[in-house]
Chains A and B, each alone.
Chain A
Amino acid sequence: MEPLHSTSQVPMLPMQPEPYRIERVHKDTGDTFTLELKPAAGNAGFAFKPGQFNMLYVFGVGEIPISISGDPEDTASLIHTTREVGTVTRAMRALKQADVLGIRGPFGSSWPVLEAKDQDIVLVAGGIGLAPLRPALYHVMNHRSDYGKVVLLYGARTPEDILYKKELAQWRSKFDLDVFVTVDRATGNWQGNVGFVTQLIKRAPFEARNTTAMICGPEVMMRFTAQELIKRGVAKEQVFVSMERNMKCGIGLCGHCQYGPHFICKDGPVFSYAEIAWLLNLWEV
């Protein structure tokens, strides 16, 4: 006969966050910041695939999903770029070096960087959408000879809102990577492109029929970008987008992130456009 109250051995993982210490905080733009994290105890690395996300927990405040934006081959530290948009991210921004965050993850599907071998790669980012795409770009650049042409198209709100400025300058100077940046609204003495990011597609150097495109940004931006790429000749099965919905568990159990038949947390966040195009054009799904 089993006793009524003993202790349970069934672990609550992956429902429990693990403590991670902030090694460095970097302010990217007025409302965006990057955290560099390491496990609070031990030296275990953090392995993930480009496009995956973690649940980030601020002690006692709450937990939210945030994509991982570091180099997938540099597992020593975990990098998250976040924008301050709500209670949890506000609390997160107040954190300093040596403070501790909770991490659960990595969760979700990834950008098809392995499947895209030998193809031209077009990454299209809008706003903070550059952060979830950065690991894909790292991977492609780490294995540059596996790919054809590589193009990054990036649309920001204003020149002040451009993420990863230093790195963009480095990327721009590379001969084997074409970077185009545009802003919706020119301010200061911005001398670059002005116009919506879709305007960059027609003059970007890639061969549409042999291209894998990865898009991340607001839903409207992704929809129009996908259409523009398809208009140029990219197959809709080769266009990938990263979706965002409310998430509480990150592991397919809480039901919040449902998008038609899909759970964004486990079937996504990365989907092929062909798979979800029918949903993208419906209201309030």
Chain B
Amino acid sequence: MNQIKTMFAQHPLFQDFSEEELEFLATCASAEQLDAGRILFQEAQEARHFYLIREGDIALELRHPKRGVITIQTLHAGDALGWSWLFPPYSWHFDARAMSHVHLLAFDAEKVRERLEQDNSLGYRLMKRFASLMLERLQATRLQVLDLYGTPS
């Protein structure tokens, strides 16, 4: 248990969390590995976990009837992955595929949610961290879709 805790205790997502809170999160976490090319989750599946990437790269993908598989974004060591677990109907919006051999920490979404519902202080703090993460990713995505390097017409 303690070993798992050390894997995420320093992550900015959980910065300044109490020892008790970290220990609780450790009970929700499990270490996982995924070979390159394997699917971590698929669109429309139930979002049972959120992840911290410890090593390796993950691609968020979308299957397009004409263009095939499109990579929307890639995530890397240190990144948190997944926020569909936070909101009903708790289902993934994209596919996630390992681009290389990946080491992950998977957190049990249901268990974490239950605690957050009861412990609003922890709920607020974790939600704030996720919100700031989402904002950062949204801003980068906005720049990405602006097509800034395109040839002006």
In the complex, which of the residues A31, A83, A128, A185 has the most CB atoms of chain B within 10 Å of its own CB atom? A185
Asked if residues A220 and B70 are in contact (CB atoms below 8 Å), the reply is no
Chain B min CB distance to A129 (Å) = 8
Q: Is B120 among interface residues, defined by CB-CB distance under 8 A?
A: no
Q: How far is the CA of A192 from the CA of B100 in the complex (A)?
A: 10
Contact between A203 and B148, CB atoms less than 8 A apart: no
Q: Which residue of A lies closest to B75 (CB)?
A: A195
Contact residues on A (Cβ < 8 Å of other chain), bracket: 20 to 34
A195 engages B149 (CB within 8 Å): no
Q: How many residues of B contact A (CB 8 A)?
A: 24
Task: Please tell me which one of the listed residues B77, B143, B149 contacts residue A157 in the complex, with CB atoms under 8 A apart.
Answer: B149
On chain A, the residues within 8 Å of B140 by CB distance are: 195-196, 198-199
Contact for A190 among B71, B72, B139, B150, CB less than 8 A: B71
What secondary structure prevails in chain A residues at the interface with B?
mixed
- Known contacts being A194-B73, A195-B73, is A203 close to B78, with CB within 8 Å? yes
A127 touches B149 (CB 8 A): yes
Do A221 and B148 have beta carbons less than 8 Å apart? yes
- Check if B132 is an interface residue, CB within 8 A of chain A: no
Whether, in the assembled complex, B121 has its beta carbon less than 8 Å from a beta carbon of chain A, the answer is no
Does A186 contact B149, Cβ atoms closer than 8 Å?
Answer: no
Q: Is B147 an interface residue (CB 8 A)?
A: yes
Residues of A within 8 A of B (CB): 31, 83-85, 126-128, 155-157, 161, 182, 184-186, 190-196, 198-199, 202-203, 217-218, 220-221, 224
In order of increasing CB-CB distance, the 6 nearest A-B pairs are: A127-B149, A186-B71, A157-B149, A196-B143, A196-B144, A196-B140
Interface residue ranges, B against A (CB under 8 Å) = 57, 59, 70-74, 76-78, 99, 139-141, 143-152
